[in-house]
């Protein structure tokens, strides 16, 4: 018996040295009673689930390292940072939800965001005061520029001081689109901030910038296919790279700014359309019947490619387009000459190219 007890002690010690489970205790309002609470990663994959009972839910488990998760109950999504041994509470009864962990990663982020909130409030109050005094917006913007930079510095400091943990990555995700529009610069930051690729906003921007790099001005066109007005397959390459300048308008029938550009496009087609130039509509994010109805209403006669919402081909993703209209000019050889053309500037630019 003594020998058995002697052998058991080291086993007990070894067991106590292993990683300790994290736990998440959550509470919700009564409307979520009986609903499914999910713990998901940033890819949207469900890692754990439970039914909300007595306005409460709970998760527990082990992680290989620090991980950025999302608590999802119906339409409510709450980011949470998890590491082994952490005891986390998530209060979904208030908006925004409050996540705390006794001084852990979530509380560290909360403290930084409190500083951000206070600086933002002071900044807004200063701007509102200046505007109430009748000062024009451009002058107001100039007056508060220093305050804006000071606010940005809070974010930058938060990233720099927490680049070895998830806090820095979470803050980066909040400002990544504001701070970075260059792929090389973003990659440099991702290399420094350890958990940056755990954050969906960072990954999404990198994908966007990577696409934008491939389809920026001076690059060769990227082909895609859709349907012509008779329902037959139609490709961008049926028009682009065939020896003509092609002014491609990515648009939709429900888009007001798109419709405002249509008279300009019709004018350009009438003025220059022929052997050297053509306007091409690329209808995206639309319904086919609405698209065809808009052609008649707007008097559009130049050729069209309708890109269905079938998930097979996404012309806007291929060109890094996040908003429409996006009007770009392709050269006779298929090179992207100019993006983001609008209004009189577009008409002047096209006319200059065709001289």
Instruction: Write the pLDDT tens digit of every residue in 112-165.
Output: 999 999 999 999 999 999 999 999 989 999 999 999 999 999 999 999 999 999
Options 1.20.120.1200, 2.60.40.10, 3.50.50.60, 3.90.330.10; CATH for 20-100 is: 2.60.40.10
| Its pTM surpasses 0.75 | no
The pLDDT value given to residue 17: 55
**39, β-bridge pairs:** 48, 71
Kindly list the distances between the CA atom of residue 186 and the CA atoms of 54, 89, 310, in Å, as whole numbers in the listed order. 45, 33, 32
* Segments making up each domain of the chain, as ranges: 20-100, 106-214, 225-353
196-219 residue pLDDT tens:
999 999 999 999 899 888 999 999
The pLDDT value given to residue 311: 62
Q: Which residues of the chain have pLDDT under 50?
A: 1-16
CB neighbourhood size of 205 (10 A):
21
**220, β-bridge pairs:** 335
CB neighbourhood size of 221 (10 A):
22
The pLDDT value given to residue 280: 98
Residues sharing a CB contact under 8 Å with residue 314, sequence separation 6 or more, in sequence order: 224, 307
Kindly list the distances between the CA atom of residue 284 and the CA atoms of 291, 341, 346, in Å, as whole numbers in the listed order. 9, 18, 21
Q: Which CATH superfamily is domain 225-353 in?
A: Glutaredoxin (3.40.30.10)
The pLDDT value given to residue 217: 95
């Amino acid at each position: 018996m003594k020998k058995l007890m002697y052998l058991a002690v080291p086993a007990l010690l070894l067991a106590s040295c292993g990683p300790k489970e994290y736990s998440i205790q959550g509470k919700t309002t009564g409307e979520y009673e009986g609903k499914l609470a999910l713990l998901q990663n940033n890819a949207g994959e469900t890692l754990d689930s439970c039914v909300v009972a007595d306005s409460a839910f709970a998760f527990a488990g082990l992680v290989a390292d620090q991980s950025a998760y999302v608590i999802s109950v119906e339409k409510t999504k709450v980011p949470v940072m998890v590491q082994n041994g952490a005891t986390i509470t998530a209060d979904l009864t208030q908006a925004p939800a409050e996540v705390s962990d006794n001084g852990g990663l979530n509380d560290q982020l909360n403290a930084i965001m409190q500083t951000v909130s206070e600086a933002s409030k002071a900044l807004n109050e200063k701007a509102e005061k200046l505007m109430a005094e009748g000062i024009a917006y451009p002058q107001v913007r100039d007056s508060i520029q220093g305050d804006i930079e000071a606010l940005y510095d809070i974010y930058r400091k938060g990233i720099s001081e927490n680049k070895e943990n998830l806090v820095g990555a979470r803050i980066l995700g909040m400002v990544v689109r504001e701070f970075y529009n260059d792929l090389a610069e973003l990659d440099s930051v991702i290399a420094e901030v350890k958990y940056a690729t755990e954050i969906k906003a960072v990954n999404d921007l990198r994908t966007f910038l990577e696409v934008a790099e491939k389809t920026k001005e001076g690059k060769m066109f990227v082909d895609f296919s859709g349907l012509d007005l008779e329902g037959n397959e139609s490709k961008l390459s049926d028009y682009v790279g065939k020896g003509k300048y092609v002014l491609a308008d990515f648009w939709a029938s429900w888009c007001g700014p798109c419709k405002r550009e249509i008279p300009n496009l019709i004018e350009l087609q009438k003025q220059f359309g022929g052997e050297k130039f053509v306007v091409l509509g690329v209808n995206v994010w639309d319904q086919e019947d609405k698209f065809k109805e808009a052609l008649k209403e707007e008097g559009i006669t130049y050729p069209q490619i309708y890109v269905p919402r079938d998930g097979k081909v996404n012309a806007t993703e291929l060109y890094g387009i996040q908003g429409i209209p996006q009007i770009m000019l392709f050269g006779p050889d298929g090179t992207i000459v100019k993006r983001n053309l609008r209004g009189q500037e577009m008409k002047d630019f096209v006319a200059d190219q065709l001289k």
